[in-house]
Chain A
Amino acid sequence: MIAELTTNERQTALVILLALAVTGLAMAIAGQGDPFGVHGALVMVVAIAGVFTVISGYYAPEPSDSRLDSYYDTPTKFGIVVAMIWAVIAMFVGDWVAWLLAYPNLTFDAAWSSFGRLRPVHTSGVIFGFGGNALIATSFYVMQRTSRARLPDQLSPWFVLLGYNLFCIVAATGYLMGVTQSKEYAEPEWYADIWLVIVWVAYFVLYLRTLARRKEPHIYVANWYYLAFILVVAMLHIVNNLAVPISWGSAKSYSLFSGVQDAMTEWWYGHNAVAFFLTSGFLGMLYYYMPKRAGRPIYSYRMSIISFWGITFFYMWAGSHHLHYTALPQWVQSLGMTFSVMLLIPSWVSAGNALMTLNGAWNKVRDDAVLRFMMVAAVFYGLTTFEGSFMAIRPVNSLSHYTDWTVGHVHAGALGWVAMITFGAIYASVPWLWKRETMYSPRLVEVHFWLALAGTVIYVFAMWNSGIIQGLMWRTYNESGTLAYSFVDSLVAMHPYYIARAVGGVFFLLGTAIGLYNIWMTIRTAPRAASELAADRPVLAGAPALQAGE
Chain B
Amino acid sequence: MALDHDILVWFSKSFGLFYLLALSLIVLVYAYWPANRKPFERAANAILHDDDDKPYRG
Contacts and interface: CB of A to CB of B under 8 A. Distances in A.
Is the A/B pair a real complex?
A: yes
Interface of A: 68-71, 144-146, 148-150, 215-218, 220-222, 288, 291-292, 295-298, 301-302, 305-306, 309-310, 313, 329, 331, 335, 432, 534-539, 545-547, 550
Size category of the binding interface on chain B: 20 to 34
B31 A306 contact: yes
Interface string B20-42: 10011001101110000001111
Contacts of B46: 146, 216, 220
Dominant secondary structure of chain B at its interface with chain A: helix
Contacts of B30: 305
B52 A539 contact: yes
A171 to B, nearest CB: 34
28 contacts: A69-B55, A69-B57, A70-B54, A70-B55, A71-B54, A145-B50, A148-B50, A148-B55, A149-B56, A215-B55, A220-B47, A221-B43, A222-B47, A292-B47, A295-B48, A297-B41, A297-B45, A298-B44, A302-B40, A305-B27, A313-B20, A313-B24, A329-B5, A331-B9, A331-B12, A545-B52, A550-B48, A550-B51
Contacts of B45: 297
B49 A545 contact: yes
A145 B42 CA distance: 15
A309 B27 contact: yes
Given A217-B39, A331-B9, A538 B54 contact: yes
Contacts of A535: 51, 53
B24, B27, B39 — most chain A CB neighbours (10 Å): B27
Interface of B: 5, 9, 12, 20, 23-24, 27-28, 30-32, 39-58
Contact of A301 (B20, B44, B50, B52): B44
Nearest to A295: B48
Contacts of A70: 54-55
Nearest first, the 10 closest Cβ-Cβ pairs linking A and B are A215-B56, A297-B44, A539-B52, A150-B55, A301-B40, A309-B27, A302-B31, A218-B43, A301-B44, A148-B56
Nearest to B5: A329
A480 B3 CA distance: 47
Nearest to A142: B47
A22 B47 CA distance: 45
Contacts of A144: 55
A53 B51 CA distance: 36
B57 A309 contact: no
